[in-house]
């Protein structure tokens, strides 16, 4: 049973690291290349968007950050991922 929890925790940890890295790529890449022409940006978009959409839907429903030039859903999603990764047991 312990092995199953270890494998599950390790898998979740790896997925969260990949998503966090993709979010950083998605945030920084537009400063260097055109996002519409970059395959790496498109890949980062498709990796991160399923995690951002629920946060964005909640923010739209609560009418939070609608007039802001900052994508708060992106930032809040990154903070949530960071908090969840810190709550996972150290492996």
User: What is this structure's pTM?
Assistant: 0.82
The pLDDT tens digits of the residues spanning 22-77 come to 999 999 999 999 888 889 999 999 999 999 999 999 999 998 888 888 889 999 99
Answer whether 74's CB lies under 8 Å from 27's CB. yes
**Structural domain tally of the chain?**
1
Using CA atoms of 50, 51, 55, 61 in order, give the dihedral in degrees to the nearest 10. Answer: 10
Q: Which domain holds residue 15?
A: 2-87
């Amino acid at each position: 049973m312990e092995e199953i929890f270890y494998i599950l925790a390790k898998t979740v940890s790896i997925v969260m690291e990949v998503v966090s890295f993709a979010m950083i790529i998605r945030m920084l890449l537009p400063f260097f290349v055109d996002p519409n022409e970059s395959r790496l940006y498109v890949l980062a978009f498709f990796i991160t968007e399923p995690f951002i959409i629920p946060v964005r839907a909640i923010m739209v429903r609560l009418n939070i950050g609608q007039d802001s030039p900052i994508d708060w859903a992106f930032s809040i999603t990154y903070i949530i991922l960071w908090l969840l990764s810190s709550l996972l047991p150290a492996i």
